[in-house]
Structures are given as structure tokens and as C-alpha cells.
Amino acid sequence: CSDKTGTLTLNKLSVDKNLIEVFAKNVEKDYVILLAARASRTENQDAIDAAIVGMLADPKEARAGVREIHFFPFNPVDKRTALTYIDSDGNWHRSSKGAPEQILNLCNCKEDVRKKAHSVIDKFAERGLRSLGVARQEVPEKNKDGPGAPWQFVGLLPLFDPPRHDSAETITRALNLGVNVKMITGDQLAIAKETGRRLGMGTNMYPSSSLLGQSKDAAVAALPVDELIEKADGFAGVFPEHKY
């Protein structure tokens, strides 16, 4: 059995620019990346910050022509980051990036926008891509604590942790030696399947609930756990205590 993140994959997120979905009018994909980069740290970066700022031709673009006033760091409750900044004309703005649900709520998005966003998120998830929401607002109060004008939902970025270059070869060698490699990951099922597909280790993956006999599929629920483990290419949505 193998963990996925950082073992089978690089643990280095990348953004697939072609798949960026723009929601705001008259906005280019590059501008969605720029807004996300503004809402990223340029030093002490986490993996998402590094992936996004890394999409710019020059990392300095993330702060070019703007004066940083206040950075709102990620926390597990708000699940987003934000930057309050002043542009070259002296106007105040904020940009934010984070978990799509949080960003949709921040923008008070109407039902039709939410529906469209969820269909994009599902489309990304089917391919094993995580989604990141991006939003912007103007801050007419011109102070860092001002509530600002209504937030505008700008777009969705797809994030993927690509397989390590040597993983597929290692798995093929193991299979040739009669060793089956199974993936165990805390990530969602679609991500596990997409990674499995890219690595040639199969896509016959199950959610962790199936290990506890709680599968919605009666045929799977009826299988003894040891048979299920033999049959599966991997398990997704597992907690650390399941891995052992």
C-alpha cells in the first residue's frame, strides 16, 4: 500500500490554465490568476500560493503597481486568504482566494451562479482537480477594516498534484514482480481515480466507508473486507487512523 500525496505524486500543486473558468464579465484568465496571486503570500508560501504565483511570468507581478495594506492569512474556519491593497490611482481593493463554497458565500452568489459553479467544480473533480474560488471587491472606505462594496465572484481555478515522474515506472516494475500496489489517500475519490489512471495502477477505487461495510453498493457492502482490499486498486477519503 502506498500513500498518494508526496509519495506517488510530487506534492506540488499546479494550475491548468486552459481549464480556468471565468465568471466575471470582460475578464481574462490571466487576470483571474493575477487576482489569485495578489491574494497569495509572496514569501512563506504554502503549496497553493506557490502554484499560483508560479503561474505569473514574473513572481514580482503579484505586487506590481499596488501597495499592500493588509494580508488576511488562511485559517481553517474562513478557508480563504485575502489582500487589501491600493492601486496606482489611490483606489482601495481586496482580492480573495479560497475554498469555492466560502468564496461563493462571500459573494452572496445567486442560485444560477452557484449552480454553474457547482457544475464546474464537479467537472474538475471528475478529473481529480481541486477547485479554488477567486473574488474581488472595492473598498470605498479606504481603510483595512472597511466592509467594502459587494464582493464579485471572478472565477474558478483547477489545481492538481501531478504524479512523480518515476512513479508509473516503479508501479510497473512492482506489478512485473507480482506485487500489487494499492493507493490509500485522504483525498476525494475522483482525485484518487485520476491519479491512478495517470499512473497505470487502475481506477477500481473505493471510498473509506466501504471498509466499514457502509457502501451504498450492495454488492460491495456484502464483500468481506479482506476480499474488498484484494480487489481494490485503492481507497479514498480515508483518515490517518485508517491508513494503519
Retrieve residue 134's grid coordinates.
Answer: 477567486
- CA gap 106, 135 in Å, rounded: 8
Length of the chain as a residue count: 244
The DSSP symbol for 9 reads: B
Contact partners, residue 142, CB within 8 Å, separation at least 6: 92
Cα-Cα end-to-end distance for the chain: 10
- Which single residue is written with the C-alpha cell 457502509? 214
Retrieve residue 101's grid coordinates.
Answer: 463554497
- CA gap 182, 28 in Å, rounded: 41
Q: Which of 3, 16, 30, 78 is catalytic?
A: 3
Active site residue 3: yes
Instruction: Please give the backbone phi and psi of residue 83, each rounded to the nearest 5 degrees, phi first.
Output: -130, 130
CA distances from 26 to 30, 164, 243 (A): 12, 37, 47
Annotated catalytic sites, by residue? 3
